[in-house]
Amino acid sequence: MGLGCWAIGGPLWRKDGSSLGWGKVEDDESIRAIEYALDHGITMFDTADVYGAGHSECLLGQVIAGCRDRVVIATKFGAQFDGDTRTWLGYPEDTGVTPSFIRQACEASLRRLKTNYIDLYQFHWGNYDADQAVDLLPVLEDLVAEGKIRWYGWSTNDPQRARVFEQGKHCVAIEHHHNILQRNDAMVSFCKEHNLGSIARGPLAMGMLTGKFSKETVFQENDVRAHGLDQDRFAIELEMVESIRNVLTLDGRSMIQAALGWLWTCGDHVIPIPGFKNRKQIEENVEAINYGPLSEEQVQIIDQILGAIDNPDMYDVRHIFG
């Protein structure tokens, strides 16, 4: 299990003023949470240059400075942002992603992370044109040769796009949306077939699988979920969660621990990266490791109840950055 570091980046705004952050977050608490994770065996942290307009990377770099050799850092490039106003500016639509763009983004991430190499460097534009994406491989391979990155991958829900990057010698992982309610079995299978890590973002369905939401749930305006969730889908997922709650928790796990345990049943190449804002959340995530995967019987019952199918179309509102 890794940890997703979007939330700890803090405030981030669209140009229209709506939020791309996850509500109030305290840097001191984020640091304590990362330190706890490190002390309890978590060694992979997934962030991006745009999370908090660079702030997530800065926080992570501060904590790992003394233990860089035992940590795997995954970060991403592709988005444009203003660090002073913490505003997401979108993608370089006019020029596409050029070699100089990638190099500048990489150097900036290295500075913020206070490191001289990135373990996994991921393309963060999920629907980028596949025909153009192949042109990104040479510069990524150059960065590997220069020692600035070790490996690379693509954060995308589309197996056909993943197939483009899979051709690269040092492509080792694809990050994609996948959880009990919103599945991408095709990508999980693709990654297994091509010996790639399947990094499962959104493992808790933006909090839905915590089991804490209700019809009365209202998100604050500074929370991305205030504008990023389809309300009709929200209501449907509430019913889905309630229908499987007893199955998920029958062996004493929390809902969160069960959601992570389900992902581990999808294959030992699947790596969930739950997000966090405080140490208490990390403690619950770490305890999921002790429970391990759900039982085969639990998985079968869940599938019978949900009648779940692979449906990538539902992910559009779930991953703001493509």
> pLDDT class for 320, splitting at 50, 70, 90?
low
Q: Is the pLDDT of residue 98 over 50?
A: yes
Share of the chain above pLDDT 90, in %: 91
Mean pLDDT of 304-310: 74
List, for residues 283-293, the tens digit of each pLDDT value.
999 999 999 99
The H or E element that residue 177 is part of is: strand 171-177
pLDDT of 215 reads: 92
Kindly list the distances between the CA atom of residue 5 and the CA atoms of 14, 93, 115, 293, in Å, as whole numbers in the listed order.
19, 26, 17, 23
pLDDT of residue 73: 98
Report how far residue 199's alpha carbon sits from residue 140's, in angstroms, rounded to the nearest whole number. Answer: 19
pLDDT at 311: 52
Euclidean distance between CA atoms 297 and 262, whole angstroms: 11
pLDDT of residue 232: 86
Look at residue 318 and tell me whether its pLDDT is greater than 90: no
Average pLDDT, the chain: 94
Q: Which pTM value belongs to this model?
A: 0.94
pLDDT tens profile 148-207: 999 999 999 999 999 999 999 999 999 999 999 999 999 999 999 999 999 999 999 999
Please give the residue that has the higher pLDDT: either 146 or 312: 146
Among candidates 267, 254, 236, 250, which has minimal Cα distance to 302? 250
Percent of the chain beyond pLDDT 70?
Answer: 95
User: Which region holds residue 47: left if phi is over 0, alpha if psi is between -120 and 50, else beta?
Assistant: beta
Quick one: pLDDT band at residue 321, thresholds 50, 70, 90?
A: low
Distance CA 311, CA 184 (A): 6
CATH superfamily of 3-315: NADP-dependent oxidoreductase domain (3.20.20.100)
231 — pLDDT class (breaks 50, 70, 90): confident
Q: Between 32 and 314, name the one with better pLDDT.
A: 32
> Does residue 322 surpass a pLDDT of 50?
no
**Other Cβ atoms within 10 Å of 62 Cβ, number:** 15
Predicted confidence at residue 315, as pLDDT, reads 46
Tens-digit pLDDT profile for residues 109-158 = 999 999 999 999 999 999 999 999 999 999 999 999 999 999 999 999 99
Q: What angle do CA 102, 108, 114 make, to 5 degrees?
A: 130
Confidence bin at 307 (pLDDT 50/70/90): confident
